[in-house]
């Protein structure tokens, strides 16, 4: 097995700090599309799935490839951990369908469409503040602020809470980066937090915050996503733990991922100035460009499933209980699906990327919102730019789970 993988190590977060190791994914996709990848103890290892078609098959066949034994990150969970930390991400139908229904209408294209004007106003005000600075960190001034402010609006929580929510989200999701989290999972002992999402003590603060918001909605109902969660808990559709985990998933999943999409999108446009020029000349291409930015960015590297029965995938025997990790980052560069996958082409069509998952029960619930936010940001930003360039090194998050940029200094001249 070691011979097959050579020096490839998809687990060590250090291997994603400088850049995404695309050459490893190319090699695996080409020669070993479904391969057993060992892991440091206590994990046992996993099947790495790197082709678009195989990834899609795994996600569609949820009866064989279940989410119930964990879906997020590579950590293997015991029964107690699973029970306490379970969200819709770790639930199979039919229960999963009930959980998803609690918010699916509010996060549908129509549900988020009613926020379009509001999102545009937020984008304008963030740009009004940032662009006159001339030289600044694009992440902290633009891409970090926007998604959380949008989420504050769909949750109707105070905008002043945004910085706190950002810090909590960072510390939970980026739990492999010492810059962003005090409880770095592969460096310090996080055993005391084993029953919390992402093994992060920050989760407790997020839960307390959710409780306060729920209590407010019980006293004074509002027309928002949190109201839907509050009603679901009052009616017994969600128990308290499920309410907490639901809130946490929405807050965290909707924040970090969109931020990185916006940062990667800007970076790609700076690195491909002819594409930026094209969007300046033909802004009607921005919705199409949004899809290419999403493919290019792939902010979530992988999600995982566990086999419920013996099966076969691309000729490999998968045994009951085996962990199967599907690498979106690789599927989105699969030449069988995307001609010239390493060309950033804002006119690319079709563009059936798997950035939100390939479909199946767990397709990202926030996809409409994320698309809308990204599209509006670039629609507002591009016409204002005269020039934009990097003014320092881009710094990436240390993670084998999120493809994140934590700092991106830029120099901007506006029109």
Positions touching ligand HEM (CB under 6 A) are: 59, 88-89, 100, 249-250, 253-254, 257-258, 261, 299-300, 303, 355-357, 360-366, 369-370
Q: Which is nearer to ligand HEM, 24 or 303 (CB)?
A: 303
- Measured distance CA(293)–CA(61) in Å, rounded: 28
- Measured distance CA(290)–CA(273) in Å, rounded: 16
First-to-last alpha carbon distance for the chain, in angstroms, is: 57
- Measured distance CA(374)–CA(377) in Å, rounded: 5
- CA 271 from centroid of its chain's CA atoms: 23
Handedness of CA 99, 102, 105, 109 (dihedral sign): negative
Query: Taking the complex as a whole, how short is the minimal distance between the CB of residue 155 and ligand HEM, in angstroms?
Result: 9
Q: Which is nearer to ligand HEM, 197 or 357 (CB)?
A: 357
Q: Which is nearer to ligand HEM, 5 or 318 (CB)?
A: 318
Pairing of the two strands 46-49 and 323-327: parallel
Which residue pairs, CB below 8 angstroms and at least 24 apart, start in 34-42?
A: 34/313, 34/314, 34/315, 34/316, 35/4, 35/5, 35/316, 36/1, 36/316, 37/5, 37/8, 37/10, 37/11, 37/325, 38/1, 38/2, 39/11, 39/74, 40/11, 42/76
Q: Which is nearer to ligand HEM, 174 or 253 (CB)?
A: 253
Query: Taking the complex as a whole, how short is the minimal distance between the CB of residue 414 and ligand HEM, in angstroms?
Result: 26
Query: Taking the complex as a whole, how short is the minimal distance between the CB of residue 75 and ligand HEM, in angstroms?
Result: 16
304-342 CB burial, b ≥16 within 10 A, e <16: bbbbbeebebbebebeeebbbbbbbbbbbbbeebbeebe
Q: Which is nearer to ligand HEM, 107 or 412 (CB)?
A: 107
Q: Which is nearer to ligand HEM, 5 or 375 (CB)?
A: 375
Q: Which is nearer to ligand HEM, 38 or 360 (CB)?
A: 360
Q: Which is nearer to ligand HEM, 98 or 141 (CB)?
A: 98
Instruction: Give me the count of residues in the chain.
Output: 415
- Measured distance CA(80)–CA(305) in Å, rounded: 18
Query: Taking the complex as a whole, how short is the minimal distance between the CB of residue 206 and ligand HEM, in angstroms?
Result: 14
Query: Taking the complex as a whole, how short is the minimal distance between the CB of residue 249 and ligand HEM, in angstroms?
Result: 5
Q: Which is nearer to ligand HEM, 5 or 198 (CB)?
A: 198
- Closest residue by beta carbon to ligand HEM: 366
Residue 25: CB atoms within 10 Å? 22
Query: Taking the complex as a whole, how short is the minimal distance between the CB of residue 41 and ligand HEM, in angstroms?
Result: 27
Query: Taking the complex as a whole, how short is the minimal distance between the CB of residue 165 and ligand HEM, in angstroms?
Result: 12
- Measured distance CA(300)–CA(331) in Å, rounded: 12
Report residue 37: phi and psi, to 5°.
-115, 115
Q: Which is nearer to ligand HEM, 190 or 257 (CB)?
A: 257
Query: Taking the complex as a whole, how short is the minimal distance between the CB of residue 161 and ligand HEM, in angstroms?
Result: 16
Query: Taking the complex as a whole, how short is the minimal distance between the CB of residue 55 and ligand HEM, in angstroms?
Result: 9
- Measured distance CA(373)–CA(174) in Å, rounded: 22
Query: Taking the complex as a whole, how short is the minimal distance between the CB of residue 231 and ligand HEM, in angstroms?
Result: 17
């Amino acid at each position: 097995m070691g011979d097959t993988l050579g020096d490839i190590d998809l687990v060590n977060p250090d291997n994603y700090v400088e850049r995404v190791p695309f050459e490893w994914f190319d090699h695996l996709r080409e020669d070993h599309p479904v391969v057993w990848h060992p892991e440091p103890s206590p994990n046992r290892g996993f099947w790495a799935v790197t082709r678009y078609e195989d990834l899609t098959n795994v996600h569609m066949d949820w009866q064989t490839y279940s989410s119930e034994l964990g879906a997020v990150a590579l950590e293997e969970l015991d029964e107690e951990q699973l029970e306490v930390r379970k969200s819709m991400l770790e639930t199979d139908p039919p229960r999963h369908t009930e959980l998803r229904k609690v918010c699916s209408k509010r996060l549908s294209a129509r549900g988020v469409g009613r926020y379009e004007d509001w999102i545009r106003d937020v984008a304008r005000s963030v740009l009004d503040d940032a662009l006159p600075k001339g030289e600044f960190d694009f992440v902290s001034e633009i891409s970090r602020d926007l998604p959380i402010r949008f989420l504050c609006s769909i949750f109707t929580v105070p905008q002043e809470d945004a910085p706190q929510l950002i810090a909590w989200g960072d510390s939970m999701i980026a739990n492999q980066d010492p810059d962003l989290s005090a409880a770095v999972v592969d460096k310090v002992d996080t055993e005391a937090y084993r029953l919390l999402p992402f093994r992060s003590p920050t989760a407790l603060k997020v839960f307390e915050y959710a409780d306060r918001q729920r209590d407010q909605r019980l006293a004074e109902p509002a027309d928002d996503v949190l109201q839907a969660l509050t009603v679901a808990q009052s009616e017994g559709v969600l128990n308290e733990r499920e309410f907490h985990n639901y809130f946490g998933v929405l807050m965290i999943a909707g924040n970090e991922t969109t931020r990185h999409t916006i940062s990667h999108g800007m970076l790609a446009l700076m690195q491909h100035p002819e594409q930026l020029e094209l969007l300046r000349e033909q802004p009607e291409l921005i919705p199409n460009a949004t899809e290419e930015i999403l493919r290019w960015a792939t902010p979530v590297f992988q999600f995982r499933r566990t086999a419920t029965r013996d099966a076969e995938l691309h000729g490999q025997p998968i045994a009951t209980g085996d962990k199967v990790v599907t690498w979106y980052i690789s599927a989105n560069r699969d030449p069988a699906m995307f001609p010239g996958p390493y060309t950033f082409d804002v006119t690319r069509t079709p563009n059936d990327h798997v950035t939100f998952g390939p479909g199946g029960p767990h397709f990202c619930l926030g996809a409409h919102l994320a698309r809308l936010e990204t599209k509006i940001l670039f629609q507002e930003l591009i016409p204002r730019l005269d020039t934009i360039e990097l003014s320092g090194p881009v710094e990436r998050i240390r993670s084998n789970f999120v493809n994140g940029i934590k700092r991106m200094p830029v120099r901007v001249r506006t029109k």
